[in-house]
């Protein structure tokens, strides 16, 4: 009988920060050894961070990463961990053509003991690895105290054939995979179903170790797990936070013992937490301490402010009310209430004097005058950003981005856009969830995310409410002219979002949308708005991907495009 304890080190890495990533590996390796683990596995591209994109093409970066792997092997041995098998990801170089390789290495006994290169390279959605990496070897089996451990890297298990098919012929005792799999709604179930199929294929348990944390517009949710050969869930790590989990493999047992299985979050909580972690890590990794944004009293800015407070604390959020002659008293009150609820700094900067000054020279009318108001507000937000060293966050949602219902260089200014992948109806749903969580005792910063793993309930909220109910329930309006409502320019959001989901995320054309049951007038309006707004979207700040198809790397259309259906 061979009993081997595996430690699953679900960690948050930073692209390019070789020293910090290696230090984190050392820390978790010590924790694993203290728990009597024989093997500790880390995420894909551990030492370099992931995805590294064109950094992989720099020879100096690849050499520095390889030097760091050798240093780490030496340091592990010097710390008395030479008997531990440390499985990490890094970037290697193909000896034949000098192209980069996405590499798994095993550090053991003071050396880089073994290596395996990713065989299947993803080239869809957010991935573009064909132009960066060379495909690697077909399969590799490690011998650990007599147990046969097959290894694979992320995409290798998503494709039929290749390494897993080869490993199925080699009588392995366990399939071990390291992953950098970005979050999107519903993906946790997809991963589990895939792992069940692969475990059955190799007739052995499978460990799925995933990265956690934010990297630009991607959020990695962790949620690492282990399944038995018959598909039984044996262990699951929590989502959105760093974790060290344990799995004990008994090579002679017909079925493995079930360990600790973390709860799955509510779907709304999952999406909200992904957005918060994306913002939190973007700020931390780019050295921002606070955020600023315009607070209109509407639901979008309220939800973004709530997310910012959960990410970095209300005292690091600067909310700016910028009322015009068209702003309602109710909206101004809602903005003030939101700032008070989250403990944010709250300043009032009326824009009417600036608007009047511009109009004396420009004398604009219609949409031009409306956009001028938004651009004045954008100037004020960026002035706060520059003068106080704050990250300006844009508050637009996916429905608005899709239809071009935003003002470029106005409300579209900023360095990050936390809700840009949330349709308007989703914004309302998630806002209601956050208020329910507040009523149940989840204060500011009470989410379980990387950097807040103590289980604290967070800073209490006044009356257990975070987002003013009126901001959720009132008819949405940009308040750029008397009596304006979003529905003056757009279909009602309940209908609009259904059409957008089919047109954008499912790539349905006009004939498909008609077959879906939508009326001709709505289809033509929505398609025209979406197609005409591509240039705006290209200039919008990045934000966290939470759906299957987000604007940006997921959807690459030409701006100059004469095709119309």
Cβ distance 355 to 372 under 8 Å? yes
Cβ distance 561 to 531 under 8 Å? yes
Q: Cβ neighbours of residue 458 under 8 Å, at least 6 residues apart?
A: 310, 442, 443, 444, 445, 446, 447
Pairing state of beta strands 39-41 and 147-153?
unpaired
| Active-site residue flag, 44 | yes
Task: Put residue 79 in one of left, alpha, beta given phi > 0 → left and psi -120 to 50 → alpha.
Answer: alpha
The answer to whether 400 is a known ligand-binding residue is yes
Task: Put residue 327 in one of left, alpha, beta given phi > 0 → left and psi -120 to 50 → alpha.
Answer: beta
| Cα distance between residue 186 and residue 250, in whole Å | 32
Token representation of residue 152: 């694979």
The answer to whether 298 is a known ligand-binding residue is yes
Pairing state of beta strands 243-250 and 345-348?
unpaired
| Cα distance between residue 283 and residue 451, in whole Å | 12
The answer to whether 300 is a known ligand-binding residue is yes
The answer to whether 395 is a known ligand-binding residue is yes
| Active-site residue flag, 138 | no
Token pair 């290169």 is at which residue?
Answer: 117
- φ and ψ at 368, to 5 degrees? -60, -40
The answer to whether 299 is a known ligand-binding residue is yes
Measure the CA dihedral 34/39/40/43, to 10°. Answer: 180
| Cα distance between residue 537 and residue 406, in whole Å | 10
| Cα distance between residue 247 and residue 193, in whole Å | 20
The catalytically annotated residue of 14, 24, 38, 44 is 44
The catalytically annotated residue of 24, 38, 68, 154 is 154
| Active-site residue flag, 53 | no
Cβ distance 350 to 369 under 8 Å? no
The answer to whether 297 is a known ligand-binding residue is yes
Cβ distance 255 to 248 under 8 Å? no
Token representation of residue 269: 């909580």
3-state secondary structure of 535: helix
Task: Put residue 44 in one of left, alpha, beta given phi > 0 → left and psi -120 to 50 → alpha.
Answer: beta
The catalytically annotated residue of 24, 38, 68, 118 is 118
* Alpha-helix residue ranges (DSSP H) falling in 47-203: 59-78, 162-167, 187-202
Token representation of residue 443: 């204060």
Cβ distance 393 to 367 under 8 Å? no
The answer to whether 75 is a known ligand-binding residue is no
Q: Cβ neighbours of residue 249 under 8 Å, at least 6 residues apart?
A: 2, 3, 4, 5, 6, 147, 173, 174, 205, 256
Encode burial over 538-550: b for 16+ CB neighbours within 10 A, e otherwise. Answer: eebbbbbbbbebb
Half-sphere exposure of 19 (CA within 13 A, CB side): 0
Distances (CA, A) of 394 to 61, 301, 390, 405, 411: 33, 8, 13, 13, 7
Binding site members for L-glutamine: 124, 181, 187
Binding site members: 124, 181, 187, 294-301, 371, 395, 400, 536
Binding site members for deamido-NAD(+): 371, 400, 536
Binding site members for ATP: 294-301, 395
Catalytic residue set? 44, 118, 154
């Amino acid at each position: 009988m061979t009993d081997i304890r595996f430690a699953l080190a679900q960690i948050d890495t930073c692209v390019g920060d070789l020293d910090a990533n290696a230090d984190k590996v050392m820390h978790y390796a010590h924790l694993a050894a203290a728990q009597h683990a024989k093997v500790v596995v880390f995420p894909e591209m551990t030492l370099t961070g992931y995805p590294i994109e064109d950094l992989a093409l720099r020879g100096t970066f690849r050499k520095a990463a390889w030097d760091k792997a050798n240093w780490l092997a030496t340091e592990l041995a010097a710390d008395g961990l030479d008997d531990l098998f440390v499985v990490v990801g890094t970037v290697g170089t193909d000896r034949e053509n000098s192209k980069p390789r996405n590499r798994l290495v095993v550090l053991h006994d003071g050396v880089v003991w073994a290596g395996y290169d990713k065989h299947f390279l993803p080239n869809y959605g957010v991935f573009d690895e064909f132009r960066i990496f060379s495909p690697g070897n077909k399969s590799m089996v490690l011998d650990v105290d007599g147990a046969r451990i097959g290894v694979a890297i992320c995409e290798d298990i998503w494709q039929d054939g290749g390494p897993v098919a080869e490993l199925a012929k080699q009588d392995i005792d366990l399939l071990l995979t390291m992953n950098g799999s970005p979050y999107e709604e519903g993906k946790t179930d997809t991963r589990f179903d895939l792992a069940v199929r692969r475990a059955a294929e190799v007739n052995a348990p499978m460990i799925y170790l995933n990265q956690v944390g934010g990297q630009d517009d991607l959020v990695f949710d962790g949620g690492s797990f282990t399944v038995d050969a018959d598909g039984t869930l044996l262990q699951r790590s929590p989502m959105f936070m760093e974790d060290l989990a344990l799995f004990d493999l008994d090579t002679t047992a017909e079925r493995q013992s079930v360990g600790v299985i973390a709860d799955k979050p509510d779907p709304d909580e999952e999406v909200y937490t992904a957005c918060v972690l994306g913002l939190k890590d973007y700020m931390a990794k780019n050295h921002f301490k606070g955020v600023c944004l315009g607070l209109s009293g509407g639901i979008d800015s309220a939800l973004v402010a709530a997310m910012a407070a959960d990410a970095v604390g209300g005292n690091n959020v600067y909310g700016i009310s910028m009322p015009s002659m068209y702003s309602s008293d109710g909206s101004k009150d809602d903005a003030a209430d939101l700032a008070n609820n989250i403990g944010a700094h709250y300043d009032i900067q009326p824009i009417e004097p600036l608007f009047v000054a511009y109009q004396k020279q420009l004398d604009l009318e219609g949409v031009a005058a409306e956009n001028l108001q938004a651009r004045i507000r954008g100037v004020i937000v960026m002035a706060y950003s520059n003068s106080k060293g704050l990250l300006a966050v844009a508050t637009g949602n996916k429905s608005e981005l899709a239809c071009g219902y935003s003002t470029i260089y106005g409300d579209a200014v900023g360095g990050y856009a936390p809700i840009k992948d949330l349709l308007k109806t989703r914004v309302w749903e998630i806002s209601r969830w956050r208020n329910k969580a507040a009523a149940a005792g989840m204060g500011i910063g009470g989410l379980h995310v990387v950097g807040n793993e103590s289980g604290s309930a967070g800073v209490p909220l006044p009356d257990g409410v975070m987002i003013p109910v009126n901001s959720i329930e009132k008819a949405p309006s940009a308040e750029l002219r008397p009596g304006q409502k979003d529905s003056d320019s757009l279909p009602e959001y309940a209908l609009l979002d259904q059409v957008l989901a089919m047109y954008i995320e499912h790539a349905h054309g006009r004939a498909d949308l008609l077959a879906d049951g939508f009326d001709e007038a709505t289809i033509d309006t929505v398609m025209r708005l979406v197609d005409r707004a591509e240039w705006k979207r290209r200039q919008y700040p990045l934000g966290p991907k939470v759906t299957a198809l987000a604007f940006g790397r997921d959807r690459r259309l030409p701006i100059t495009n004469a095709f119309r259906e």
